[in-house]
Amino acid sequence: MYVRSRMQTDIVTVSLDTSVTSVFDLMMEHGYSQFPVVEGNELKGLITERVLKDVSPSKATSLSMFELNYLLSKTKVKDIMLTDIITATPDMLIEDAAVLLRTNDVGSLPIVSEDNKLVGIITRTDIIDAFIEFLGTNDHGTRISLEVKDEVGTFAKIANIIKDHGINIHHVSNFDIDDGKSEMIIRLNSTEVEDVINALKNEGYNILSVVKKD
């Protein structure tokens, strides 16, 4: 799956000359903690809640409320925005975008075209939703977790056992344990899986858990 299939394209942006006061208003209106800064459609920077806090006067300031509002209204986004931005492209794999988010500890990634035009944004929530779908978490059926050896043909053998019982595999994921073993999680499209479980056990597979969802 690619970023283009999960990114949001209805984006709220600000311009270089947007005032800090206006950005605060947009954050209150939309509930966002950051906005891309654009000139035309070209991405120029990012304005975040953290940046705004850094430039806002402290509570100990001697300025009056009028003076504070005036100061913030005259401060422009272009003067304080972040310009060293982590971005993604529409053709990036969703898992690569997840790594970017995690590695750089950011909540979202602007999505840009080859000529740096802003075409979308993808958030942690968008990626979590994608992985929930990948894993089939909300699907009807049965989740079987089993311990397997990390050997060529292991999944083929398990898949053939399941196929012989006329049940379809919806999703598969695999997680390393240790010593050449891993936990394989298989989601099936049926809750009538007792015969499959017994067949897997008879072949020597260690069934860790079975969870059914109607």
State the Cα–Cα distance between residues 102 and 75, nearest whole angstrom.
32
Task: Note whether 70 and 128 are same-domain residues.
Answer: yes
pLDDT, residue 59, reads: 45
Cα-trace Rg, the chain: 25
Task: Note whether 101 and 11 are same-domain residues.
Answer: yes
CATH of the domain at 208: 3.30.70.260
Per-residue pLDDT tens over the stretch 174-196: 998 888 899 999 999 999 999 99
Task: Note whether 170 and 105 are same-domain residues.
Answer: no
**Which is nearest to 146 in space by CA: 174, 115, 104, 121?**
174
Task: Note whether 28 and 48 are same-domain residues.
Answer: yes
Task: Note whether 60 and 79 are same-domain residues.
Answer: yes
CA angle 166, 139, 132 (to 5 degrees): 130
Task: Note whether 184 and 124 are same-domain residues.
Answer: no
Q: Which two tokens stand for residue 63?
A: 């300025």
pLDDT, residue 74, reads: 77
Task: Note whether 100 and 203 are same-domain residues.
Answer: no
Q: Which two tokens stand for residue 205?
A: 């597979």
CATH of the domain at 92: 3.10.580.10
Asked whether the whole model's pTM tops 0.85, one would answer no
CA angle 135, 109, 138 (to 5 degrees): 20
Q: 96-131 burial by CB neighbour count: b if 16+ within 10 A, else e? A: ebbebbeeeebebbbbbeeeeebbbbbbeebbeebe
State the Cα–Cα distance between residues 179 and 191, nearest whole angstrom.
32
What is the DSSP secondary structure assignment for residue 21, as one 8-state letter? Answer: H
* Edge-first strand listing for the sheet containing 42-48: 14-15, 34-39, 42-48
What is the DSSP secondary structure assignment for residue 30, as one 8-state letter? Answer: H
pLDDT, residue 56, reads: 63
Most distant CA pair in the chain: distance in Å?
79
pLDDT, residue 130, reads: 93
Q: With contact defined as beta carbons under 8 Å apart, do 149 and 180 qualify?
A: yes
Task: Note whether 128 and 171 are same-domain residues.
Answer: no
Range of the domain at 101: 3-132
Task: Note whether 128 and 207 are same-domain residues.
Answer: no
Task: Note whether 8 and 48 are same-domain residues.
Answer: yes
Q: What is the pLDDT along the chain (214 residues), one digit of tens a residue?
A: 899 999 999 999 999 999 988 998 999 999 888 999 999 999 999 999 888 887 765 543 544 455 556 666 778 999 999 999 999 999 999 999 999 999 999 889 999 999 999 999 999 999 999 999 888 888 899 999 999 998 899 999 999 999 999 999 999 999 988 888 999 999 999 999 999 999 999 999 999 999 998 8
State the Cα–Cα distance between residues 6 and 56, nearest whole angstrom.
34
Q: Which two tokens stand for residue 58?
A: 């402290």
State the Cα–Cα distance between residues 27 and 47, nearest whole angstrom.
11
Count how many residues are written for the chain.
Answer: 214
- Total number of domains in the chain: 2
